[in-house]
Amino acid sequence: MNDSVYFYQCYSADVCSYKFQSYKIMGVTCQILLNPIENGVYKAGDPVTGTLKYFIDIPTQYSRITMALTGRGKCLWTEYSNRSNSNFNNVIYHSNSEDYTNLMMSVNLNKDEFISGAFEYPFQFELPINIPPTFKDPICTIEYKLTVLFVIGNSIIPQREFEVEIPVTSYVVSFSSEPLMLKLDKKLSFKIKNKINVSGEISKTHITPGDSTQLAIEVNNKTGAEISIRTELIYCLTYISTLNRRRYREEVVRNTTTKTAVAANGVSNLICVVPTYQNLCSIQHSKMLMGEYKVRLKIEVPKPHRDASIDIPVVIGAKMPDGITAVPVVLPPPAGPMYPHTMSHHPHVNMSW
């Protein structure tokens, strides 16, 4: 016996902010009507509710009709075993995958009966609390989907799929809500007086998306050269394979950079504001992807001297609700060569150059 599997999905702007098109395949028209949600994005732990509607215009015998909420992540990248000879024989593939949720409901059927007409069923799923947010780039995808499945017995028609994604944001676990002290020193020569000292604090290391954090710092420039103090928000992604190989990517978040000049032999007290945006969120609760943010404070000095910098880890996202115990994701140390990584979070951060 061969089972033919069909997937039907749709979306209605009359019910929520999404818009699904109805699909009619092999005599079936199907709709998934989602109940309204705030800002059109589901939060981890939220219920996913609505109504499943379908119309069958040709009497058909189904062995089962099911609806599922699934969450899955996967990543894939390549590297060459011999960088001087980039051919297909030297390509190494690194991959990983995770399942975050797989919930299913079934429609009660008499498998011996041919059915037709209009039907509707309310549905309710619940997203787990410890899940990462929706994410997509050329290497990694984390997605959550609603899928309706119609299975016809004794059919030789091939399988067809129609999938609808739902956007999900997650809660984050922060290190501390207290201000963090920082200190950064830079020498331009071996002379004691030819030195730059920066000290102060960052107002908070857990930031709600769209809010900002501030660095209140004192800059004591004991050199004869004008310098600049630069601050910016850095986004760091770490991809992790099943064999614990890691790939690291870092970029400056747009429109977060500030730069202030400090005169030679001068002292300046600065308030440096580092903004965030509504669409930013740290990625936690995953063993294959880490999305981290850090505030970079840099002393820029004239050439041929080298700049000095310090990275302060921050967490961006909605705080895990009180009373909820987050399940920690324990990652083994990197395998093979060490890749760049962010600093550990301490109550006091010092750096000398």
Same domain, 129 and 252: no
Residue 185 domain flag: yes
Residue 174 domain flag: no
Residue 123 domain flag: yes
76 and 246 Cβ atoms separated by less than 8 Å: no
Same domain, 212 and 107: no
The 10s digit of each residue's pLDDT in 153-179 is 766 554 555 678 899 999 999 877 789
Q: Does residue 262 have a pLDDT over 50?
A: yes
Q: Identify the CATH number of the domain in which residue 241 sits.
A: 2.60.40.640
Shortest CA distance to 44 belongs to which of 283, 264, 223?
A: 283
3-state secondary structure at position 158 = coil
Under DSSP, the state recorded for 141 is E
Same domain, 103 and 132: yes
Supply angle C-alpha 332, 103, 69, rounded to 5: 95
Place of tokens 């041919």: 114
Over residues 173-189, mean pLDDT: 87
Same domain, 231 and 200: yes
Residue 281 domain flag: yes
Domain holding 28, by residue range, is 4-169
When comparing pLDDT for 117 and 14, which is higher? Answer: 117
Q: Please spell the DSSP secondary structure of 229-295, one letter per residue.
A: EEEEEEEEEEEE-TT--EEEEEEEPTT--EEEEE-TT-EEEEEEEEE--TT---B-S-SSEEEEEEE
Two tokens, residue 305:
């001297």
294 and 313 Cβ atoms separated by less than 8 Å: yes
Same domain, 137 and 59: yes
Same domain, 282 and 185: yes
Domain count, the chain: 2
Residue 175 domain flag: no
Same domain, 227 and 308: yes
Same domain, 146 and 248: no
User: What is the Cα–Cα distance from 93 to 79, expressed in whole angstroms?
Assistant: 7
User: What is the Cα–Cα distance from 318 to 172, expressed in whole angstroms?
Assistant: 6
Same domain, 191 and 302: yes
The 10s digit of each residue's pLDDT in 319-339 is 998 776 665 555 555 554 433
Two tokens, residue 116:
């037709």
Under DSSP, the state recorded for 155 is -
353 and 187 Cβ atoms separated by less than 8 Å: yes
Residue ending a domain, among 119, 149, 169, is: 169
Q: What's the whole-model pTM score?
A: 0.81
When comparing pLDDT for 113 and 147, which is higher? Answer: 147
